[in-house]
Amino acid sequence: MIFQNEGGALVARRHGETLRIEPWGKDSLRVRATMHAKFTDHAWALTESVNNGKCDVTVYEASDFPGDPRIADGGQVAVIKNGRAKAVVNHAGVISFYKDESLMLREYYRFYGGTISKLSRCLKLVNREWKGVLGGSEFQLTVRFDANEGEKLYGMGQYQQPYLDLKGTMLELAQRNSQNSVPFLVSSLGYGFLWNNPAVGRVTFGKNITEWVARATSDMDYWFTVADTPKEIVAAYANVSGHAPMFPEDRMGLWQCKLRYRTQDEVLSVARAYQKEGIKIDQIVIDFFHWTVQGDWKFDKTYWPDVKAMVDELHSMGIKVMVSVWPSVDRRSENFWPMAEQGMLLKTERGAGQTYDFEGDCIVIDPFNKQTRDYVWNVCKKNYYDLGIDGFWLDNSEPDLAVYDFDNYRYFDMPALACSNMYPQMYSRTFFDPMEELGRGPVVNLLRCSWAGSQKYGNVVWSGDVPSNFESFREQLQAGLNIGLAGIPWWTTDIGGFMTDDVNDPDFRELLIRWYQFATYSAVLRMHGDRGPYDIPPLDTRDWGGGYLHTGQPNELWSYGEDNYRIMRKYYDIRIEMHDYIKKLYEEAHTNGSPLIRTMFYEFPDDAKCWETEDQYMFGDRYLCAPIFTLHAVKRDVYLPAGQWKLTSTGEVFEGGRTVTVDAPIDYMPVFERL
């Protein structure tokens, strides 16, 4: 390795690779490498200006190296230190990362005695492996790290699985319906790690090795930070990737939605009914196929004859209005050929051009192209925003694809393999950037997907079209806790799950209540779902327009019987009573990145039991919540950390540091208030 100090950055060159390590925020380092003549200099998720403080770069001869002599292995060693974060690079290019003087993470390296292991040489398995992509200038990159015994890993976005601790899992680095790849992790050892690369790939957190793979990339790029607590790690990450805006107070209550309100009269009748019941809904959401065809991005006037009047009446009730926009453009759309001819749509490398086939022959838009973003916004501004619509439900934002053959797609300036994971963020910026510039009010849009840094673009992320069963409900807790640790604090779910066969099934109604109780103690309380049976006839016999597609059963609070309505009304009142507290939590999300729903160890990092507890959570720092994840369960065990805890149902005070068993009748989810 040839080491140089370039303006406070450590630069090393070997075998055609250029490695650059530089300070990037307090106690943090950014690490990049390339096989090209120069770096692409993409910021990716590291968009914020940072104050690095004092940084030291030192090059040692092996005989003078003050650390483990086996690392030096007889050659030069370079050390870069930024506050408490330190990286050591040996002559083979292997990087070791430290917090103070404690080893946190090391790229794959084997040594025995005083020399590099002959075994490693025979395996020909290296820490950074570049393989050229046939027919392109990119490389498939594999970066390997030694695994740490006993380490726990969290974050990484949202995956539909029952595991909170990700150690031992393999995660696809790709966006899908209900799957969000947000590649920032928090380690129980006291460091955070961002894979700052939107390429499609995978990560394996094995017992023996950690391996990151980008299927097509020009640069290696990752960020490393150290701190003593998960809260400090998440805050450091927010400082370099962006802070969520301040969430508006007028949307902290109930959001009402269903699949789907088909006419403006339906929307107004629901709003009026809520007003009559004395229930304030903060936002009503108008779902898909209110339009003529996909890509027209406008209401079908047959069923929505006076949108402005509808919006005005809803606003008079204090209700914000959100409307669904999809990134798919049907060949029948008035916008298809103008966009296709100007290169604004996703391109296929081979075969047919179709990329989406739900209810039409469609191609999804290319938001990596600024011209595309401007075109789509101008259409939506004219047809929605100028009529008073307050926000956008940017559905299918992964984007949803007919086939997830990422190697068959190409965006504006690079293949899809190299950038696909950033699609939802670029799609959201199609709306956020101009809305922010217009300054009409806080920007809050709803998306089904996100990537690292999406929190700064006014994104409420929901967990996708998940099944309506208790197993899926349990997985949503893990999804919400991990995406919060990955820096996305505004997160929600479809209450009761999305896919329901029969709303009259008593088991489903029990699930709905348990899910609603959980949602009350989450960032956004939002009613939504595709409710069967599908026995409501369409409004129109045409195969297009706002009247032809099916609709689901009613999904208002009173739609599930008087007993259930009573319970949901009770929890609605609890939500409203917590308004000032919820506002405080959103302020924390804005200032230090803290999620609203938090793992137990986020608030109690010194309690070993909290690192093992995965079926309960903290709603902020005050409320310990224990959802019911089993059908017909009326009791459950709850672990209470040290201190005093008041059970909200009875007012009984418990001493912590132990597990207690509490009652959980259908009208109560166990919640303890921290005293």
Task: For residue range 73-99, list pLDDT tens digits in order.
Answer: 788 999 999 999 999 999 989 999 999
Non-local CB neighbours of 122 within 8 Å, separated by 6+ positions: none
At 566, the amino acid letter reads R
Give 228's pLDDT tier (boundaries 50, 70, 90): very high
pLDDT > 90? residue 349: yes
Query: What integer pLDDT is reported at residue 112 of this predicted model?
Result: 53
Q: How many CB atoms lie within 10 A of CB 619?
A: 22
Nearest partner of 94 among 186, 21, 157, 166, judged by Cα: 21
Beta bridge partners of 140: 131
Mean pLDDT confidence for 487-512:
98
Give 68's pLDDT tier (boundaries 50, 70, 90): confident
Query: What integer pLDDT is reported at residue 55 of this predicted model?
Result: 86
Q: How many CB atoms lie within 10 A of CB 634?
A: 11
Query: What integer pLDDT is reported at residue 117 of this predicted model?
Result: 60
**How confident is the model over 411-451, as pLDDT tens digits?**
999 999 999 999 999 999 999 999 999 999 999 999 999 99
Instruction: Specify the DSSP class assigned to residue 66.
Output: -
Q: Is residue 154 within 8 Å of residue 134, measured between CB atoms?
A: no
Nearest partner of 408 among 185, 216, 152, 238, judged by Cα: 216
Q: Is residue 325 within 8 Å of residue 289, measured between CB atoms?
A: no
| Catalytic residue (one of 465, 556, 614, 621) | 465
Mean pLDDT confidence for 128-132:
96
Give 51's pLDDT tier (boundaries 50, 70, 90): confident
Cα–Cα distance for residue pair 458/245, rounded to 1 Å: 6
Nearest partner of 580 among 243, 252, 245, 244, judged by Cα: 252
- Supply the mean pLDDT for the chain: 96
CA angle 498, 499, 505 (to 5 degrees): 110
**Side-chain-facing half-sphere of 345: CA atoms under 13 Å:** 23
Question: What are the Cα distances from residue 57, in Å, to 3, 28, 105?
Answer: 10, 14, 19
DSSP string, 555-590: -SGGGG-HHHHHHHHHHHHHHHHTHHHHHHHHHHHH
Query: What integer pLDDT is reported at residue 459 of this predicted model?
Result: 97
Cα 178 from chain centre: 10
Query: What integer pLDDT is reported at residue 238 of this predicted model?
Result: 98
Cα–Cα distance for residue pair 520/283, rounded to 1 Å: 16
Query: What integer pLDDT is reported at residue 587 of this predicted model?
Result: 98
**How confident is the model over 166-209, as pLDDT tens digits?**
999 999 999 999 999 999 999 999 999 999 999 999 999 999 99
Residue 465: active-site member? yes
Roughly how many angstroms between the first and final C-alpha of the chain, as a whole number?
A: 57
Mean pLDDT confidence for 349-377:
96
Query: What integer pLDDT is reported at residue 358 of this predicted model?
Result: 94
Query: What integer pLDDT is reported at residue 135 of this predicted model?
Result: 83
pLDDT > 60? residue 113: no
Q: What are the structure tokens assigned to 187, written together?
A: 């380690």
Cα–Cα distance for residue pair 21/32, rounded to 1 Å: 6
**How confident is the model over 306-317, as pLDDT tens digits?**
999 999 999 999
Mean pLDDT confidence for 493-508:
97
Question: What are the Cα distances from residue 75, in Å, to 6, 89, 511, 514, 563?
Answer: 21, 11, 63, 62, 75
Which domains are assigned to the chain? Answer: 2-241 (2.60.40.1760), 326-372+394-442 (no CATH), 599-674 (2.60.40.1180)
Cα–Cα distance for residue pair 3/20, rounded to 1 Å: 10
Query: What integer pLDDT is reported at residue 254 of this predicted model?
Result: 98
Q: What are the structure tokens assigned to 352, written together?
A: 């047919």
pLDDT > 60? residue 116: no
**How confident is the model over 607-642, as pLDDT tens digits?**
999 999 999 999 999 999 999 999 999 999 999 999
| Catalytic residue (one of 22, 395, 400, 494) | 395
pLDDT > 90? residue 47: yes
At 584, the amino acid letter reads K
Q: Is residue 222 within 8 Å of residue 45, measured between CB atoms?
A: no
Question: What are the Cα distances from residue 377, in Å, to 320, 323, 424, 427, 546?
Answer: 20, 14, 15, 10, 21
Exposure class string for 471-493: b at 16+ Cβ within 10 A, else e: ebbbbbbbbbbbbbbbbbbbbbb
Mean pLDDT confidence for 11-29:
96
Mean pLDDT confidence for 286-298:
97
Residue 405: active-site member? no
Mean pLDDT confidence for 558-583:
98
Q: What percent of the chain has pLDDT over 90?
A: 93
Nearest partner of 3 among 124, 106, 95, judged by Cα: 95
Q: What are the structure tokens assigned to 631, written together?
A: 């059908």
Instruction: Specify the DSSP class assigned to residue 8.
Output: T
Q: Is residue 80 within 8 Å of residue 86, measured between CB atoms?
A: yes
Q: What are the structure tokens assigned to 212, written together?
A: 């990151």
Give 119's pLDDT tier (boundaries 50, 70, 90): low
Query: What integer pLDDT is reported at residue 516 of this predicted model?
Result: 98
Task: Write out the E strands in 386-466.
Answer: 391-394, 409-410, 445-447, 459-462
Query: What integer pLDDT is reported at residue 264 of this predicted model?
Result: 97
Beta bridge partners of 154: 186
Give 303's pLDDT tier (boundaries 50, 70, 90): very high
Tell me phi and psi for residue 106, to 5 degrees: -140, 135
Query: What integer pLDDT is reported at residue 561 of this predicted model?
Result: 98
Cα–Cα distance for residue pair 446/428, rounded to 1 Å: 9
Tell me phi and psi for residue 651, to 5 degrees: 85, 0
Give 110's pLDDT tier (boundaries 50, 70, 90): confident
Q: What percent of the chain has pLDDT over 70?
A: 98
**How confident is the model over 450-480, as pLDDT tens digits?**
999 999 999 999 999 999 999 999 999 999 9
Mean pLDDT confidence for 650-659:
98
At 156 the three-state DSSP class reads strand
Q: Strand 597-598 relative to strand 617-619: parallel, antiparallel, unpaired? A: antiparallel
| Catalytic residue (one of 146, 211, 398, 603) | 398
Q: Is residue 598 within 8 Å of residue 616, measured between CB atoms?
A: no
Residue 390: active-site member? no
At 339 the three-state DSSP class reads helix
Query: What integer pLDDT is reported at residue 125 of this predicted model?
Result: 79
